[in-house]
Structure 1
Amino acid sequence: MTLREKQKARRYREIINAAAMLFGKHGYSNTTIEDIAEQAFVAPGTVYNYFGTKDGILQGIVEMHITERRAERRSFLKAPPADFDEAIVVFVSLLIDRAFVLVNREIWRQILASSISRGGSPEDFHDDVTGALVNQFERMFKTFQKRGCLRADVDLKHLSEAAMGIADFHFYRYVCQDNGSITDAKLRIVRQIQMLVEGLRQPPSPNISARPTPEA
């Protein structure tokens, strides 16, 4: 990467950080391009050149969130914990906790509203933001299938879509409602995914060396 490219990438990130902070503090509607430019120490024209509109900045926030969080999950998937239940807990924490590093609840609400106002749908937004997560769930489940924790006949694609549906439901309910806590949302996701896989676990192999205990 050339010096010019590095400067451009740094400026892009600075504008994103400034916008995320202002959107979270003052709200999307109450924040102007000029406010963002002032916070990022750039000219308003620079913000327009990079993003065009505030809606473009929201899209940039989403794209940066996806890029940065994807690397963390890929690292996890290379070597998940040995215990299946622990792996589910850790993966759900990566999904939920890390979703609010750059984007708070108010910004997530605006991202959803902006997607729909552009003529999209919740399904379109799902494809943009969380579509890859189904594949990542599938990778995790495949690892534990190979380890003998899941039955060999389990359709991992369908299982992954069901797990993602659980995660989506509680994530968006938390985002769109004022009550409830992030801890409660995570707990519900973990418990329900564990319930989902409970009947699909590989039964333990019988101990062929064990002998029946003689009756008294």
Structure 2
Amino acid sequence: MSGLRERQKQERRALIAGAALAEFKSNGFAATTVENIANAAGVSPPTVVNYFGSKQGVLLALLQEPDHRSIEESSLRVRDFTNPVDALCDLEMTVTGNQVKSIPASLWREIIPIWLNGDAPEVFRAWNDAVVAGAQVLLKHFCANGVLRKDLDVELVARMINDWANIAFVRLAAQDEPDMAAHGEYMRKVFTVLCEGIAR
């Protein structure tokens, strides 16, 4: 019985998140209310709050889901790489590709100023922390295999990687048609310079 209940909760959560994304696309993030999301999902506003806490909580879930999927995919492939640049490019391009597919550029252009102004710090901190954790897994793997320095401050380098990727993502999301190839070339150059500096 608990398995059925859990599946129903997950389905309702997905329903609410999907309705919220449709509302954000149609009306913009700022103009969308919890009531709009509830109406679109066919649930009550308290149900939305119960599942997500707030409109910002729904946004966090929409941002995190592609990242969690990307980090999982990339961490499964880490042993396929002998070069940390290739592994970092794989992680970054997987995360970025999934984000661009999940959330349209028009919505990113509204979300990014909120992010840069620090108006929803808990949302973007949690979103960034997931990517930092994924980068740490890759860095630790290459440190353990003697490719990167053993004394590497893995957390600091992972946060640097996330910061550079964020800056590049802002530029990418500002484009009506994101140029993923140019983004990938730029990030490869960044990761090459970084990895040359922290190589064993």
For residue 107 of structure 1, what is the aligned residue in structure 2? 107
What is the alpha-carbon distance in structure 1 between the residues aligned to residue 83 and residue 118 of structure 2?
A: 43
Contact 2:19 / 2:40 at 8 angstroms: preserved in 1? yes
For residue 142 of structure 1, what is the aligned residue in structure 2? 140
* 1:167-182 equivalence runs, <5 A: 167-176=165-174, 181-182=179-180
Instruction: Assess, with a 3 A threshold, how the Cα gap between structure 1 residues 111 and 141 changes in structure 2: closer, same or farther.
Output: same
Alpha-carbon distance, 1:193 to partner? 1.1
Instruction: Assess, with a 3 A threshold, how the Cα gap between structure 1 residues 38 and 178 changes in structure 2: closer, same or farther.
Output: same
Q: Quick check: 1:21 aligned with 2:22? A: yes
For residue 96 of structure 2, what is the aligned residue in structure 1? 96
Contact 2:59 / 2:123 at 8 angstroms: preserved in 1? no
Secondary structure at the counterpart of residue 150 of structure 1: coil
What is the alpha-carbon distance in structure 1 between the residues aligned to residue 165 and residue 130 of structure 2?
A: 13
Instruction: Assess, with a 3 A threshold, how the Cα gap between structure 1 residues 98 and 119 changes in structure 2: closer, same or farther.
Output: closer
* 1:3-28 Cα deviation digits (max 9, x unpaired): 22321210110121122134234533
Q: Which runs of 5+ in 1 are unaligned?
A: 203-216
Secondary structure at the counterpart of residue 136 of structure 1: helix
Q: Which amino acid aligns with 1:164?
A: N
Q: Which runs of 5+ in 2 are unaligned?
A: none
Contact 2:136 / 2:154 at 8 angstroms: preserved in 1? yes
150-159 vs 87-96, which deviates more? 150-159
Q: Which amino acid aligns with 1:96?
A: T
Greater C-alpha radius of gyration: 1
For residue 85 of structure 1, what is the aligned residue in structure 2? 85
Secondary structure at the counterpart of residue 149 of structure 1: coil
For residue 189 of structure 2, what is the aligned residue in structure 1? 191
What is the alpha-carbon distance in structure 2 between the residues aligned to residue 118 and residue 72 of structure 1?
A: 30
Q: Which amino acid aligns with 2:173?
A: V
Total equivalences in the alignment: 198
Q: Which amino acid aligns with 1:8?
A: K
Alpha-carbon distance, 1:194 to partner? 1.0
Secondary structure at the counterpart of residue 164 of structure 2: helix
* Superposition TM-score, scaled by structure 1 size: 0.70
What is the alpha-carbon distance in structure 1 between the residues aligned to residue 133 and residue 37 of structure 2?
A: 36
Alpha-carbon distance, 1:110 to partner? 4.0
* 1:146-157 equivalence runs, <5 A: 146-157=144-155
Instruction: Assess, with a 3 A threshold, how the Cα gap between structure 1 residues 48 and 131 changes in structure 2: closer, same or farther.
Output: closer
Instruction: Assess, with a 3 A threshold, how the Cα gap between structure 1 residues 75 and 37 changes in structure 2: closer, same or farther.
Output: same
Q: Which amino acid aligns with 2:180?
A: I
Alpha-carbon distance, 1:192 to partner? 0.7
Q: Which amino acid aligns with 1:104?
A: P
Contact 2:112 / 2:170 at 8 angstroms: preserved in 1? no
What is the alpha-carbon distance in structure 1 between the residues aligned to residue 44 and residue 125 of structure 2?
A: 32
* Superposition TM-score, scaled by structure 2 size: 0.74
Contact 1:112 / 1:125 at 8 angstroms: preserved in 2? no
What is the alpha-carbon distance in structure 2 between the residues aligned to residue 80 and residue 63 of structure 1?
A: 25
Flag the structure with higher helix content: 2
Secondary structure at the counterpart of residue 130 of structure 1: helix
Higher RCO (CA 8 Å, separation ≥ 6 residues): 2
